[in-house]
Each structure stands twice: as structure tokens, then as C-alpha cells.
Amino acid sequence: MSIEFHFVHMDSSPLIEAHAREKVAKLQALLTHNNPVRIKFTFTANHAHNNLRHIELHLSASKLNIQTHEEGQDMYGHINGVIDKMITLVKKELEKQNDHHHSTPKSDFGGESYSRKNRKP
């Protein structure tokens, strides 16, 4: 898993990077397959709007391409929030992929309502 950090209009911070890497561990537990996963954090400061921070998280893997974001002044709290959002989105996407691959067994359609003797001519 590769993790990239981009800081726009602000200095890079090893403390922010370390906090984000620590929180990504929760996300890694969901992505157990051996496909390459790329995670990209983009931190943007808007000094004109009271030091508002925008955090964007982009996850790309072989069958996943998900992006989420948060805005506010509490950088660490919003890192936690963006990771929690990403975990929710990844779970939903993996559920959709698993449901798509499981078809309904033919035996489920073999009940009485599907038999020829109950059909009206």
C-alpha cells in the first residue's frame, strides 16, 4: 500500500503525516487482497477564510476508486473524520461487489408458485 501526502498552500508536517498513517491502519484491515492500493491525502489551506483546511482522501485499487473530503480548522479531527468516511464507503463498495458476485441459487425458484400444475391456462 502506498500513501502519498500533498500539502497545498501550507508547510508539510511530519506530525500530520504520522497521525494519518496511524489512522490508515484501520483502512488497511479492510483491504486484505494482494492488489496494489494507493492512498493520496491532499491538505489545502485557505488563508483567506480564517485558516480553513480542506482534507481530501483518494483511494484507488484494482476495483475501487473512492474519494472523500472534509473541511474545517481541526486538522487531526478531520483526518479522523475523512478516514471514518472512507471506511464506510469501502465497506459499502465491497458489499456491493460481493452481492454482485453471488447469484440466487436455482433451488430458490423451485417452489410451488413456480410449478406448472398451479398455472392457469
Residue spans of the domains in the chain: they are 2-104
Inter-CA distances, 121 with 109, 111, 115, 116, 117, Å: 20, 19, 13, 10, 10
Inter-CA distances, 57 with 8, 54, 73, 116, Å: 14, 10, 17, 55
- State pLDDT tens for residues 10-22: 999 999 999 999 9
pTM for this predicted structure = 0.74
pLDDT at 98: 78
Q: And the C-alpha cell for 71?
A: 473541511
Q: Residue 17 contacts by C-beta under 8 Å, 6 or more apart in sequence?
A: 5
CATH of domain 2-104: 3.30.160.100
- Amino acid letter at 69? H
Can you list the residues of the chain whose pLDDT is less than 50? 114
